[in-house]
């Protein structure tokens, strides 16, 4: 099913952020093609007027460049996060190059840029990223197995491509981190360790992690997906307490980061 694409006008492109340490959120698109079954940003659908399911439409903010130019005149050295409720490097970006055009504007300013993505397409803009004095790219990677990814994040970049992107950015002295979020309660500690070793070997200097934000409206699709991969456990998803699992995961990840001398941050949303 091809996503419905629509062009829209925005009044603001830099919006005040409630994320700690981030002044402004910048989202070039409304909606996201990746179709992640656990997506917390699904609440945005009610503001769009779309009948299509979340993950099956994208609105392009076609006047984003003009609006950003005006807003940049009024801010000083701030922290901007690109991609808080959409992925700025989702597949449509290959055609529109909207994110790239916004990066070209941001690169002329003295600011801190944080990019959150699940897409290796960010490598297209590597030369642009090296122009920033202060930039960090964070890849969401929740599993080392692409079989999990195909089910949970069906249209996001493969795990292999994301890890290669981490390695490439790190080799070019771009600060790169990995976000394991959400932690899927049925993923074994052995699998978590395998993921940790992979991202460390690729050069990530920081690992963040977070629990699954269980949203009831996502329950049906998420349960079906987990039942396919973890049939013994998925039926308990709405009822079980996973505190013991998360406590163990916190311990495993924290000890791994400490033993490798890298920053480890549990988000605890």
For residue 202, count CB atoms less than 10 angstroms from its CB and return exposed for 0-12, middle for 13-18, buried for 19 or more: buried
Q: Tell me if 15 sits within 8 A of 82, measured CB to CB.
A: no
Element (H, E) at 175: strand 175-183
What pLDDT score does 133 carry?
92
Q: Tell me if 128 sits within 8 A of 105, measured CB to CB.
A: no
What pLDDT score does 220 carry?
65
Cα angle 58, 78, 179; round to 5: 55
Report domain extents, the chain: 1-140, 145-269
Q: Tell me if 59 sits within 8 A of 243, measured CB to CB.
A: no
Q: Has this prediction a pTM greater than 0.75?
A: yes
**φ, ψ at 136 (rounded to 5°):** -135, 135
What pLDDT score does 43 carry?
83
Q: Residues 157, 52, 4, 96: is their CA dihedral positive or negative? A: negative
What pLDDT score does 233 carry?
63
CA distance 68 to 101: 10
Q: Walk along the chain (269 residues) and give the pLDDT tens digit of each residue.
A: 789 999 999 999 999 999 999 999 999 999 999 999 889 888 888 889 999 989 999 999 999 999 999 999 988 899 999 999 999 999 999 999 999 999 999 999 999 999 999 999 999 999 999 999 999 999 999 999 999 999 899 999 999 999 999 999 999 999 999 999 999 877 889 999 999 999 999 999 999 999 887 655 566 677 777 777 777 665 666 556 788 889 999 999 999 999 999 999 998 75
CA distance 145 to 33: 21
Q: Residues 265, 192, 148, 138: is their CA dihedral positive or negative? A: positive
What DSSP character marks residue 216? G
For residue 227, count CB atoms less than 10 angstroms from its CB and return exposed for 0-12, middle for 13-18, buried for 19 or more: middle
CA distance 110 to 132: 8
CA distance 105 to 98: 11
What pLDDT score does 42 carry?
83
């Amino acid at each position: 099913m091809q996503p419905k694409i629509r062009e829209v006008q925005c009044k603001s492109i830099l919006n005040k952020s409630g994320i700690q340490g981030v002044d402004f959120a910048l989202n070039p698109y409304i909606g996201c093609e990746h179709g992640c079954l656990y997506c917390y940003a699904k609440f945005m659908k009610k503001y769009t007027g779309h009948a299509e399911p979340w993950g099956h439409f994208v609105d392009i903010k076609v006047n984003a460049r003009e609006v950003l130019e005006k807003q940049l005149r009024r801010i000083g050295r701030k922290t901007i996060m690109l991609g808080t409720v959409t992925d700025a490097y989702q597949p449509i970006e290959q055609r529109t190059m909207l994110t790239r055009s916004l990066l070209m504007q941001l690169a002329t300013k003295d600011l801190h840029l944080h990019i959150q993505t699940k897409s290796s397409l960010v490598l297209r803009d590597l030369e642009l990223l090296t122009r920033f004095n202060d930039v960090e790219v964070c890849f969401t990677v929740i599993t080392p197995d692409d079989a999990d990814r195909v089910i949970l994040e069906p249209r996001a970049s493969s795990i292999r491509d994301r890890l290669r992107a981490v390695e490439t950015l790190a080799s070019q002295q771009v600060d790169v981190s990995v976000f394991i979020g959400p932690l899927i309660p049925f993923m074994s500690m052995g699998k978590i360790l395998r993921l940790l070793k992979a991202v460390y070997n690729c050069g990530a200097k920081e690992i963040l992690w977070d629990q699954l934000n269980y949203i009831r409206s996502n329950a049906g699709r998420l349960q079906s997906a987990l039942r396919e991969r973890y049939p013994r456990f998925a039926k308990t998803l709405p009822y079980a307490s996973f505190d013991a699992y998360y406590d163990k995961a916190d311990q495993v990840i924290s000890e791994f980061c400490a033993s490798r001398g890298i920053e480890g941050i549990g988000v605890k949303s």
